[in-house]
Amino acid sequence: MRVSGRLATILKFIAAGLAVLLLAVLSLSVYLYRVSSSLQDLSEQSLLTSSAQTSIVYAADGTEIAQWHGEEDRTVVPLKEIPKSLRDAVVAIEDERFYTHNGVDTQAIIRALKTNTAKGSVSQGGSTITQQLVKLLFTDGERTISRKVKEALLAYELESRTDKDQVLETYLNTVYFGRGAYGVESAAQHYFGRSV
């Protein structure tokens, strides 16, 4: 059976397209493997071990005598001590689909790409709370594609190893709120003169 000239040309284009697609998938797989092999092992790291904390000295009667901190004024508080309204507000502002994605929100990334392309500059981000936490704890913060890929892979891994409440608790105790205040407790003390 002979194949007509036109059909042979179409088949050659399809074969070439499939070969290019296969090469692209293989290249992406090799790249992701190389990036993932250089990532931190999250199983051996406590989320807040790299975060500085404020030291508080108390008298025998329980009254506070002094506080010391370096550049980061941070007091870690458990999630159950953080008001639900504050937790809900942070999730609504930073990552409205926090409880439904697995570390990376593709809808937010697509929305940010469309908005930034239309404006011709970076005016919107698509990072989730988990990605922001990973950026704060495990990356150098430089704006590169490689860092964003590492951030996404670490976010997937982090969410596969811990629950959403632990991620949110760590984020709320880590993020910078301005004026030297790191975490919600330090921010509440700094801005309102009271505990969170």
Among 164, 92, 88, which residue's Cα sits nearest to residue 133?
164
pLDDT digits (tens, 9 = 90+) for 37-77: 655 655 544 555 455 555 555 567 776 555 545 556 678 89
Q: Which residue has the higher pLDDT, 30 or 105?
A: 105
Q: Can you give the pLDDT at residue 142?
A: 74
Across the chain, mean pLDDT equals 80
Among 183, 168, 151, 46, which residue's Cα sits nearest to residue 98?
168
For residues 154-174, average pLDDT: 89
Residues 29 and 104 occupy one common structural domain: no
Residues 78 and 174 occupy one common structural domain: yes
For residues 106-132, average pLDDT: 84
Which residues form the domain of 11?
A: 1-38
Residues 127 and 64 occupy one common structural domain: yes
Q: Can you give the pLDDT at residue 61?
A: 72
Q: Are 57 and 66 in contact (CB under 8 A)?
A: yes
Q: Can you give the pLDDT at residue 44?
A: 40
Residues 54 and 32 occupy one common structural domain: no
Residues 22 and 51 occupy one common structural domain: no
Residues 92 and 30 occupy one common structural domain: no
Handedness of CA 80, 82, 86, 92 (dihedral sign): negative
Residues 48 and 34 occupy one common structural domain: no
Residues 83 and 27 occupy one common structural domain: no
Residue 96, pLDDT above cutoff 60: yes
Residues 80 and 46 occupy one common structural domain: yes
Q: The tokens 């504050």 sit on which residue? A: 86
Highest mean pLDDT among 20-34, 36-50, 147-161: 147-161
What CATH number is given to the structural domain containing 74?
A: 1.10.3810.10
Residues 88 and 143 occupy one common structural domain: yes
